[in-house]
Amino acid sequence: MTTNFALTYYTVESDIASNAIDAYIISINTDGIGVQASVAGGQLNPTKIKDAFTEADFKWENQKYPAVVLPGMAAKFSGELEDLFAGKAKIMVGPEDSGRIVGWMKDYWPPK
């Protein structure tokens, strides 16, 4: 997941597509603010993340590895999201920079 800050979204999308990573990207509406600033300013929070998946009618049962990968800068939300997703998805903390997704995937994917 990422925010709807255009530069962030398109960078994440490019990093995933150019490395042939089979994944969905959900963009959380933070009024166009990037991850770090939206975490600090409250535009990105666990409830908003959970609500975005609910509104998208995301089908966890259809996923081989039901997991949400948080941007590293939103790591502080991982515990509360574990509670909010109530076992539907594993909450994982990804890298702070999407350019490191490939290395992160080699070390942490698939989830255990």
Q: Which domain CATH number covers 66?
A: 3.40.50.11600
Domain enclosing residue 76, as ranges = 2-108
Mean pLDDT of 64-92: 96
pLDDT at 2 over 90: yes
- The structure's pTM equals 0.92
Q: What secondary structure letter does DSSP report for 38?
A: H
Q: How far is CA 79 from CA 45, 46, 57, 62, 71, in A?
A: 12, 9, 22, 24, 14
pLDDT at 112 over 90: no
How many domains in the chain?
1
Q: How far is CA 72 from CA 38, 55, 61, 64, 78, in A?
A: 13, 24, 26, 23, 10
